[in-house]
Structure formats: C-alpha cells, structure tokens
Amino acid sequence: MTTDTPIRIVVADDHPVVRGGLVAMLRTIPGLDVVGEASDGDAAVHAVLEYRPDVILMDVRMPGRDGIEATRQIRELVPECRVLMVTMYDDDATVFTAMQAGAQGYLLKDAEQDDIVRAVHGVVAGEAIFGPGVAARVLAYFSDPPRAVAAESPFPELTDRERDVLDLLAQGRRNADIAAQLYLSPKTVSNHLTVIFTKLQVAGRGEAIVRAREGGLGAPT
C-alpha cells in the first residue's frame, strides 16, 4: 500500500447507532475509506470476503457468530486483513481470547477519535495496538512474575475464577456442567479455558487436566 492509497475499512457492530457513529467519524478522516458495514459476525466475514479491506473494526458481542469467532475465520480466509476489536468488554478472558483468535488491536468504545485513527494506522502497519487500560493489563500479565501470594496456592498466575474453572475441569466436568456450577454461560467458560491454556502453556484440555491434578486440583467435593 502506497502512502497516498486510502486505508480500506469495514465496520462491524450490531448497534446501528454505534456503527453509524464510527462510520461517520472515519469518513471525515483523510486517508481512510469505509467500504462496508456489518451487523453481526457472519456479515462481517462476508463483508471482508467481498470488499477485501485492509482492516475491520470488530465488536466482540454480536448475534449469531460473535466477533471473536468472526475474527478467527477472517484471519484464516483473508490473513492480510487486520482486525481491530472495538468493544466495551475489557475482562482478561475476552482480551486474551480475542488476541489468540488473531486480533491485532483492542480498543474500548470510549476511546477518543485520535486513538481510534492511530490504532487503524498502527494495525495496518503491522503493530499490536491496545487502548491504555487494556495495554496496562496485558503488560502487567507478561512482565510481572507471579506473586508469592501463598506457597500452597496452586497456579498463582490464574485468577480465582480461572482456578475454579480449572478445578472443575480436573474433576472431569464438561463445559456445560462447569457453567451451571459457577453460574456462568458456556461461552464464558470456554473463554476462561482459552486463557487458562495460554497461561499454563498447555495444548488443550487433556494436558491442562494433568497439570491441574499434579498441582492438587480436581479432588471430588
């Protein structure tokens, strides 16, 4: 892409007012060209296949296929398209799941116009872009060693909720059972497991169960 070629953008968000606001704002910025819109994850994938944008601004929670699943498919089908998440969710599970799915950037919806425009240019240039609050949490996770909170506490890199999920997983529970016991949605449990696998550097459920049981988790209650 030459410097005088506009950056082609698709905006995906299920809220018409939010989507319309983003589109209107981006169209006022020289060098940016909004070529398409989408109101759900399936439409986002189709829009990327049709318009071949340089970047898609993607919401996380959308009907049908959510933004994370749409991101995963877009990165498989059109790997040259960058994905910039623009969402209201900043919990660890959502952030890490989105990045693992292939998103190159993560902003909150209260980001300033200049931050959004800078992030668009950044991800297109190959940078990983995080909003200030999200960046602080990501850097804290990757740069801080696990706290010596309690020698007897297994897996100090996990949050209490993640440890609860891992404990139930080590008991042989299925995602639906874990969700019911912890009053979570199955999707949230799946997101927690993705983060747990990343933090423990394991390949999947089986390896995580072995690690958990070695650490003393999984005893029947």
The domain locations on the chain are: 7-140, 160-214
Map residue 30 onto helix, strand or coil.
coil
Please tell me the predicted confidence (pLDDT) of residue 70: 93
> How high is the mean pLDDT in each 10-residue block of the chain (221 residues)?
81 95 95 96 96 96 87 94 91 80 90 93 92 71 53 75 91 90 89 89 87 84 57
Structure tokens at 210: 């072995």
Please tell me the predicted confidence (pLDDT) of residue 42: 94
How far, rounded to the nearest angstrom, does the alpha carbon of residue 132 sit from its chain's CA centroid?
Answer: 16
The answer to whether the CB of 50 falls within 8 A of the CB of 36 is: yes
Fold for the domain defined by 7-140: Rossmann fold (3.40.50)
Q: How far apart are CA 195 and CA 119, in angstroms?
A: 24
Bridge partners of 151, per DSSP, are none
Please tell me the predicted confidence (pLDDT) of residue 122: 94
Please tell me the predicted confidence (pLDDT) of residue 220: 67
Please tell me the predicted confidence (pLDDT) of residue 148: 45
Surface-to-core class of residue 151, CB atoms within 10 Å of its CB (0-12 exposed, 13-18 middle, 19+ buried): exposed
Type and span of the H or E element at 69 = helix 67-77
Query: Which of 12-34 are b and which e, b meaning 16 or more Cβ less than 10 Å from the residue's Cβ?
Result: bbbeeeebeebbeebeebeebeb
Please tell me the predicted confidence (pLDDT) of residue 149: 43
- Is pTM beyond 0.95? Reply is no
Alpha-carbon separation of residue 50 from 10, 18, 60, 77, 78 (angstroms):
10, 23, 21, 12, 11
- In sequence order, what E strands does 126-217 have? 129-130
CATH of 160-214, picked from 1.10.10.10, 1.10.3720.10, 3.30.70.380, 3.40.50.300, is 1.10.10.10
Q: CB-based contacts of 166: which residues, under 8 Å, 6+ apart? A: 155, 158, 196, 208, 212, 217
Bridge partners of 84, per DSSP, are 57, 105
Please tell me the predicted confidence (pLDDT) of residue 151: 45
Please tell me the predicted confidence (pLDDT) of residue 55: 98
The answer to whether the CB of 42 falls within 8 A of the CB of 70 is: yes
